[in-house]
Amino acid sequence: MTIARPRLISGLGLPDGTGYEVMEALRNGTSIVGVALSGYGMESDLAQSATAGFQYHLTKPVDAEKLYQTIEKIPVA
């Protein structure tokens, strides 16, 4: 049986918090893989995403094919 790893695809600017906060809360005790979607793509933005626990950071507007390819990179187990 194949078990998929949990995935989170989230924007960083949310109405009641940030995607960073969501990722930090979810990664404690789990092996969730996160993909951040952001309008910002400077090195400091990518570093902040990585610090929060996101493994991938895509800059908006996100190309659907690029998102699909990123999801395909995530190991199944």
Structural domains in the chain, sorted by start: 7-73 (3.40.50.2300)
Could you tell me the pTM of the whole model?
Answer: 0.85
- CA dihedral of 41, 46, 48, 53, whole degrees rounded to 10: 130
Q: What pLDDT is recorded for position 31?
A: 82
Q: How far from the centroid of its chain's Cα atoms is residue 2's Cα? A: 22
Per-residue pLDDT of the chain (77 residues; tens, 9 = 90+): 565 677 899 999 999 999 999 999 998 877 889 999 999 999 999 999 999 999 999 999 999 999 999 998 888 76
Q: What pLDDT is recorded for position 1?
A: 57
